[in-house]
Structure 1
């Protein structure tokens, strides 16, 4: 198997695929994706993409809305760059075959309609079209069921990545530019909208590689996930409230302005749940329009026995988005040479302390293209892998039943602890307790690795522990509430 590529991209969501397509005319590209290519948060994104092209809209307004939602912790330069490239990003997606609805919609935190959808499963349509373009490009190789384990870094220069490939072998792959596009870390929480593969792998690898990270305390909890019995929870997107859906208590009374930023609405729902179930209702709206605009959500809820047109739908907050991440500049560069990060795993500074609805798909396209075009500049540079004799220090193993039980318990305990002690509402003493728990688990996992070697399950448990520690420590380092980081 070839293990040397011009460019390596880890992840197959909107940011990774955009980067790959941008680089696809410049050299060989390898995309490594953990399971199936469509197993990404992008594929589950029901909301749309914000773009400042509507009549009557202004760049300054989109910038202000983004800054306000981020509690003004955003990097103004990054926000301005995002907004001013939004029109071009939308048109680029159209060229890839994405057919957006003609009229933009309104979503929470936006002062006017600027959200472009393809009905109510925008992310799925984007993913499908980008994967089609990837398959048509002979310079791009896509490796499914290939889990990136650790970056190969020497003297703060990233030279490649160790990958657990489909036939259960750990193989080093080398490149002059490695791009992290692994998404967030929602599975570190008990309740999340993120798919099961989202275990913070890219963030954990970056931390181990000593890359600079920031703003990890700002985890966005979406206020309206369908209240099911198992995670990941089905998201009831911002668009429902943008179309007029109300949030009500058990008595049918509205208790919050549904169009406020997500962190505020999520806390309101969380507090109300202490005394009442919380429901989303669209019963007061035109039933034909609901079915026309939200066909997929309507059908999905039917499978759970609910009619979106006239039933009260039980909802709950759930971990949804990682606002911080691996620090990058406007070109997608990290603090490690030749290592780039795009999409949710990156901390560009756009989202500040709380992301504005529908800015994430936009960020993925804008920085995927920006990073790709910047990486092209090193195509002909004198890059030489000085030592290809890298070997992964631990062998792959098949877990015995006892270790499987231990790792399942560790994962479950981490998720429960994060939800209860480092969740929507935080207390210093509880976070200190959580930190102690995670440190003990890190030691325990290290002993399993030293004794028995590496396994897929062990890698995921280790990554979740690494991320849980980082989020908790970041939260403890911020003594005052800000955005999604709320202390009592």
Structure 2
């Protein structure tokens, strides 16, 4: 281990520099904590790209019960009602916490799809994630107890008798083994596993792979939300056209100018409607000319800049759109304190499956969840103390993750719609990669687990749509699995033991 990290042995380690990771670190202060981030804080965090904002019942005509009802409806029967009530009740106070850290928000509350009230807290129109990350990153850098290790990538979690015992990481100067019995995964989602995605390219499920290789239980992996209105241009990741644009009155039209309708339906419904048109060789556009026109750039400066960079003027041109992988409702199964099934391993933010989102995330609940779960994990960790650690043995460093071989498979067979034949094809292609020692191994393992979960769910519910099982089952049940459920090769280590 590098000399400057030796003094942190035994202290908590947070992997991931988005909202959930930063909030966990700040909540732990003044306890020393190490925060690992592959890139400079915020550079490859989906949190910083979020346009929609944070959902909280702050309006005079709103209350927590209404927010809960909207979330349960969007979740299509799979939300944990107790978790929903607990997290959303904490949302207004969590917004106050951000304000205390210096985040600046607009006075106007926004409306987004499937919300019955205006309850979206914005900053600079569509710059909400960027502003929250600015405030939290500044606070983290000013907190002496937080040690930042930017440019360091966690490759494996080390375990002893099924308990976290350390981290094997790659730094700019070489391999690093960090002794710790308390690890927080806050690594974000899986959008980078798809060709069409609004997520940073680095959001390729690495946290899920780390947890799975360590033996953790994962939940609801089949539920991937495809945002219906990504800007349909060659740029990757794809620029996002926030739901808030539809909330301000923009309409969906086809290439003839005919209106599709249903703009404020839940995201999965809108995404499938657009996908159906595209599969027929048609085009779909979001038209904000009448509702916003010349005021578009004032309300949505980030989106307007992305449009102009691609030769589109949202004041005068309809915006070409298509669905793109955007958010993962599934993740590491955790309790209300963020604890996973592996002792010493917590998870917060998108990488975790708390039960809040169910089968379909309600718009702008994700940043709220990341903020609150970061707080909860930090509070839970504050009550722990390190056990006596055995020094982890130096392990062979696994290859870095490269999802290039996985993206075409997931994009074709695990997109907006799925079927049994396609899922079997995906599984057959992904399993050899997952059991290999190649760069694609970890992304392929995550894709394989998603495909197995999608195959097992023989119904259509929320963001999971099976064309061969288009109806919803009468029984709503969450799905759980581990890497041992999908890996068949006895020669490949499912977890690295110290």
Give the TM-score taking structure 2 as reference length: 0.90
Aligned counterparts, 1:278-317, within 5 A: 278-317=284-323
Distance in 1 (CA, whole Å) between partners of 2:329 and 2:340 is 16
Matching residue within 420, 431, 444 for 2:423: 431
Matching residue within 185, 193, 199 for 2:190: 185
Aligned counterparts, 1:204-223, within 5 A: 204-223=209-228
Distance in 2 (CA, whole Å) between partners of 1:356 and 1:200 is 21
SS at match of 1:273: helix
Aligned residues: 459
What residue in structure 2 maps to residue 163 of structure 1? 169
1:288 positional shift: 4.7
What residue in structure 1 maps to residue 487 of structure 2? none
Cα 1:394–1:146 shift into 2, 3 Å: closer
Distance in 1 (CA, whole Å) between partners of 2:288 and 2:391 is 60
What residue in structure 2 maps to residue 481 of structure 1? 460
Q: Does 1:14 align with 2:19?
A: yes
SS at match of 2:279: coil
Distance in 2 (CA, whole Å) between partners of 1:77 and 1:421 is 34
Q: Does 1:334 align with 2:326?
A: no
Aligned partners of 1:438 and 1:465 also within 8 Å: yes
What residue in structure 2 maps to residue 404 of structure 1? none
Matching residue within 141, 149, 154 for 1:135: 141
What residue in structure 2 maps to residue 246 of structure 1? 251
Distance in 1 (CA, whole Å) between partners of 2:223 and 2:398 is 36
| Cα shift readout 1:134-182 (whole Å, capped 9, x = no counterpart) | 1101110111111110111112211221111122x12111224210000
5+ residue gaps, structure 2, are: 468-498
What residue in structure 2 maps to residue 233 of structure 1? 238
| Cα shift readout 1:337-381 (whole Å, capped 9, x = no counterpart) | 111000000000000001000000000111100110111001xx3
Matching residue within 263, 266, 283 for 1:277: 283
Cα 1:176–1:412 shift into 2, 3 Å: closer
Matching residue within 46, 67, 71 for 1:66: 71
What residue in structure 1 maps to residue 353 of structure 2? 347
Q: Does 1:32 align with 2:11?
A: no
SS at match of 1:17: helix
Give the TM-score taking structure 1 as reference length: 0.91
Cα 1:266–1:396 shift into 2, 3 Å: closer
Q: Does 1:464 align with 2:443?
A: yes
SS at match of 1:332: coil
SS at match of 1:173: strand
| Cα shift readout 1:413-441 (whole Å, capped 9, x = no counterpart) | 42111111111110101100110000122
Aligned partners of 2:155 and 2:397 also within 8 Å: no
SS at match of 1:107: coil
1:132 positional shift: 0.5
Cα 1:395–1:344 shift into 2, 3 Å: closer
SS at match of 1:206: helix
Distance in 2 (CA, whole Å) between partners of 1:31 and 1:365 is 16
| Cα shift readout 1:261-285 (whole Å, capped 9, x = no counterpart) | 1111000000011231110110112
Q: RMSD over aligned Cα, in angstroms?
A: 1.5
Greater CA drift, 472-481 or 387-396 = 387-396
Aligned counterparts, 1:363-402, within 5 A: 363-378=369-384, 381=385, 383-385=387-389, 387-394=390-397
Distance in 2 (CA, whole Å) between partners of 1:257 and 1:389 is 55
1:221 positional shift: 0.4
What residue in structure 1 maps to residue 408 of structure 2? 416
Distance in 2 (CA, whole Å) between partners of 1:394 and 1:47 is 39
Cα 1:274–1:374 shift into 2, 3 Å: same
| Cα shift readout 1:35-74 (whole Å, capped 9, x = no counterpart) | 2211110011111100112101121111111011110210
SS at match of 2:104: coil
SS at match of 1:80: helix
5+ residue gaps, structure 1, are: 398-406, 449-457
Distance in 1 (CA, whole Å) between partners of 2:333 and 2:167 is 19
1:81 positional shift: 1.0
Aligned counterparts, 1:81-92, within 5 A: 81-92=86-97
